Chain A
Amino acid sequence: MNENLATARVTQTIEKEWRAAVESGSAPPQPALFRFDIHIDRRRFASGTRIRNARGVVGEKVGIWSGASHPEWVYFVDDVPEANWAHPCRYVFVFDNDEIRTLPDKLPPNDDGPPLIPIPIF
């Protein structure tokens, strides 16, 4: 999937989920969405490129990095931008077979990985 399509799909999904939560009566904070500034091609994947936070490799325990397909684009959603860490957040993986998997987490990515690019949602 190309970058623009991946970003559009992720953005629409995050916005739709937020609006559904609002309509259901809860008052969730507006999430902040970021795209990791990296395209994980086969060469990068083979060389061990991974997304990490302070507790380890994100998604390792649920096989994000060990399946037949691999993540191409990765997004980070801060669900409570005005709170201190640790708090709810999500890593969204767009795979090379176009599958999108969202992984709940509670810590942001480390500063020694790819830069984060803010993506406007609202």
Chain B
Amino acid sequence: MAHIVLFAGGIDSRSLFDRYKEDLRIIGRAFLDRPAFQGASVTLLYGPGGTVTLNLGPRHQRVAAITASAANLEQALRDVSRDEADHFVFVASNHGDLNADRITTSLCCWDREFVEDHQFASWCSAINARRQIYVFGQCHSGGFIPPLARPDRCILTACAWDEYSWAHSSLSVDEFILFVTQGLRGGLATPTEIFSYARLRDSRPEHPQYYPGDVGNDTSFLG
């Protein structure tokens, strides 16, 4: 059993760019195409939710979005923690911020809410999947590694804690998410290989970060 949570808060209608939906679509589908995730349950949190749906492949043709609020994100993570799953995937696209203390960071939600890195980590603390992978595409996403790092997790981020993250030059997707997706699609065996692939191809002025945990080199992780 596997769970996938896809998240793009977007701040508000002015900052919810179409590319975030595309980010979640391509990477969500790439995970679902890997053997370990083919029967996965998917939770999609995107902007205001409502009528937004994503086609994530044959078994997930109309995944309906719910509002990407902080409360819904917390609930989605708590729901995941109730099950004994082997695999858990969390992907965030969209915006992030460096907090006023200039040390900790936040993930942007819908309607101008923010979730701080340590708050997010506490919501994930009860998730007991044996293999967990987190992909963060937002600005300052490297700040999510220290509070979240644990041996059963590997964490990939688009940039360091003090950097902003970038769209691909086409503006249709985010740079780092695109290349992580390509790595997944290309059949690379481990998260470590996928991260190396994405980091080498990322041509934007951002420095992707990686925490492998004990599972980053596990060749059975992605199937």
Contact = CB atoms under 8 A, between A and B. Distances in A.
A and B co-occur in one complex: yes
Interface of A: 54-55, 80, 82-87, 106-112, 116
23 contacts: A82-B167, A83-B165, A83-B167, A84-B137, A84-B138, A85-B11, A85-B15, A85-B95, A85-B108, A86-B95, A86-B96, A86-B139, A86-B140, A86-B164, A87-B139, A87-B164, A108-B11, A108-B14, A109-B14, A110-B112, A111-B13, A111-B15, A112-B12
Nearest to B94: A84
A84 B139 contact: yes
Given A54-B108, A54-B114, A110-B112, A84 B12 contact: no
A108 B15 contact: yes
Given A83-B164, A83-B167, A109-B14, 16 more contacts: A80-B164, A82-B171, A83-B139, A83-B165, A84-B95, A84-B137, A84-B166, A84-B167, A85-B15, A85-B95, A86-B95, A86-B96, A87-B139, A110-B12, A111-B12, A112-B12
Interface of A is mostly: loop
Contact of B96 (A80, A84, A109): A84
Given A84-B95, A85-B15, A54 B112 contact: yes
Interface in B70-117: 94-98, 108, 112, 114
Interface residues of B, number: 24
Given A54-B108, A54-B112, A83 B166 contact: yes
A104 to B, nearest CB: 14
B162 to A, nearest CB: 11
B51 interface: no
Given A54-B112, A80-B164, A110-B112, A86 B14 contact: no
Interface in B3-27: 11-15
